[in-house]
Amino acid sequence: MKNKPAVLLLAALISAAMLGGCASGPNSAASSSQSQSAVKLADRNWDSFNKSQIEKLIATYGKTSPNYNPAKPPYAVFDWDNTMVFLDVEEATLIYQLENLRFNMTPEQMDKALRMSVPKTNFVKDYNNAAGQPVNIDLVVPDAVDSYRWIYANYKGLKGTLSLEEVKKSPHYTNFVTKVRYMYEAIGDTFDVSVAYPWVLYLFTGQNEQQVRAMVNETLAWQKTQPIAKVKWTSPASLPGKAGVVSVSWKNGLRLMPEMQDVFKAFRDAGIDVWVCTASFVDVIKEISSNPAYGYNNPADRVIGMELERDANGIIQTEFRKGYAQTQQKGKTQAINRFIVPKYGYGPIFVAGDSEGDMNMMQDFSDTKQVLIVNRLKGKDIITLSKQAVESYGKPDAKVLLQGRNDNTGEFVKSQAHIKFGAKDGQVLK
């Protein structure tokens, strides 16, 4: 029929009016039941309510909605460590870097990196040495640097001739790696995150982006072979140094999270842009999030993270990048407002995270319709949002979702509960 296009246009306008009128941008809430039923995530280990709510959000604001405007697409922002993966990529990379001595610093540069911005007050009591004595940066850094100086002179990957296997036979190797990893924990538990988060990044000094990203690849390949288990290092009694004998433990066994890979794909397929805002070094997360081998397929230029200064040749310096906020707590909101909001004109529709460091970006944007918390029973403040998720569970207007996880398997569980490492039963709130 000659006037068929006009008839179809009129019908479309009537349909839109019945659904609540036309709207642009991500703030329109109307959606047809037909489009909602078409959006499905794989069941996997999702809590069923969380899964249905995310599907509903995608249908309501994605491109199958009659109100979707491709010129003003909605977008989502995700934390990375312990949100998109089980455990922490930055921390796993540190262990790999230590075990394989992947450094490009002189002993003097190492000394500067290990001291950078760390107060000289004693670490909290939990980090006293084996003799029960307090330890601080002025005691432990000289020990680590003395051993690094031996490594620097002897390891063929630096200035020496010995293989890694030969170097590992020396107590200097064990002393160096243990005391650096010990410092990471002690600084993190003693001082503000503004001190602790950048500290670990300074160990990339002297490397470039390609070297860091290659190391991340090697780390992920190695972690895949590791069981999910606690590891403990103790410095050698033969080299007590100034700090004495210290110990440190952590968990190995980083795992990718298929449920979150699915969410990335579902959002993109629905025309919802995906961004990452992480407190890890930007190059580390660029690699895991964008490399097709890991299934997230997120463009590298959509990662916002911690930044360090680089010289004209792209070599990383022992200095936080001037003019940049640390991407933790309020800094995440600041970074989103600086780098993402101007591209769209509005805030994220969806925010996902796991810790106190994500709470600001979860709460600071009026455009946010849904928040996902990976439950780790961690942090004294995020419990307020977790309680909100528990109280609104099963309600159609629930904004905060709490997703359970099993720390023994590195997998989501089909409930809100967190199962601690070594436990059989889960709990929802602390």
Residue 169 above 80 pLDDT? yes
The model carries a pTM of: 0.90
Q: Is residue 401 located within the same domain as residue 275?
A: yes
**DSSP one-letter code for 398:** -
pLDDT of res. 158:
98
> Would you give the DSSP letter of residue 144?
H
pLDDT of residue 196: 93
Per DSSP, which regions of 338-399 are E strands? 350-353, 370-374
Range of the domain at 160: 89-252
Is residue 428 a part of any domain in this protein? no
pLDDT at residue 38 in the model? 67
Q: Indicate whether 430 belongs to any domain.
A: no
351 in the same domain as 243? no
Q: Are residues 407 and 268 in the same domain?
A: yes
Residues 330, 332, 338, CA angle at the centre, nearest 5°?
105
Contact between 55 and 263 under an 8 Å Cβ cutoff? The reply is: no
Domain end among 237, 252, 267: 252
Based on the domain organization, do 224 and 207 belong to the same domain?
yes
Helices within 225-316 (DSSP H only): 258-269, 282-290
Cα(24)–Cα(198) distance, rounded to whole angstroms? 40
41 and 132 inside one domain: no
Provide the CATH number for the domain around residue 361: 3.40.50.1000
Residues 177 and 282 placed together within one structural domain of the fold: no
The helix/strand/coil state of 13 is helix
User: Do residues 190 and 161 share a domain?
Assistant: yes
Q: What is the pLDDT of residue 39?
A: 80
User: Which residue has better confidence, 383 or 37?
Assistant: 383
Residues 291 and 189 in one domain: no
Q: Is residue 12 part of a domain?
A: no
**Percent of the residues in the chain that have a pLDDT greater than 90, as a whole number:** 90
34-48, 80-94, 135-149: range with lowest mean pLDDT: 34-48
Give 32's pLDDT tier (boundaries 50, 70, 90). very low
CATH number of residue 198's parent domain = 1.20.1440.320
- Exposure string of 146-166, with b = 16+ CB inside 10 Å and e = fewer, is bbbbbbbebbebbeeebeeee
Write down the pLDDT at residue 380. 87
The residue among 213, 236, 252 that closes a domain is 252
Are 141 and 269 part of one and the same domain? Answer: no
Query: What pLDDT is stored for residue 323 in this prediction?
Result: 97
Q: Does position 136 have pLDDT exceeding 50, yes or no?
A: yes
In this structure, the answer to whether residues 169 and 236 fall within a common structural domain is yes
What would the pLDDT profile of 49-70 be if each residue is shown by its tens digit?
999 999 999 999 999 999 999 9
Structural domain includes residue 8: no
Question: How far is residue 47's CA from residue 379's CA, in Å, rounded to a whole number?
Answer: 22
With respect to residue 426, please indicate whether it lies within any of the assigned structural domains.
no
Closest CA to 369 of 30, 16, 20, 17: 30
Q: Domain end: 188, 218, 252, which one?
A: 252
Q: Are 369 and 399 in contact (CB under 8 A)?
A: yes
Does residue 162 belong to any structural domain of this protein? yes
Query: Would the pLDDT of 272 be above 60?
Result: yes
Task: State yes or no: pLDDT of 33 exceeds 50.
Answer: no
Same domain as 161, residue 263: no
Q: Which segment of 5-9, 215-219, 394-398 scores lowest on mean pLDDT?
A: 5-9
Q: Tens digit of pLDDT for each residue in 283-322?
A: 999 999 999 999 999 999 999 999 999 999 999 999 999 9
With a pLDDT cut of 70, the percent of the chain lying above it is 91
Cα distance between residue 168 and residue 171, in whole Å: 8
Same domain, 262 and 247: no
**pLDDT mean over 167-183:** 98
| Domain total in the chain | 2
Asked if residue 9 is part of any domain, the answer here is no
Please tell me which residue, 8 or 235, carries the higher pLDDT value.
235
Q: For residue 56, how far is the Cα from the chain centroid?
A: 25
Please compute the mean of the pLDDT values over residues 208-218 and round it to a whole number: 98
For residue 6, is it within any domain? Answer: no
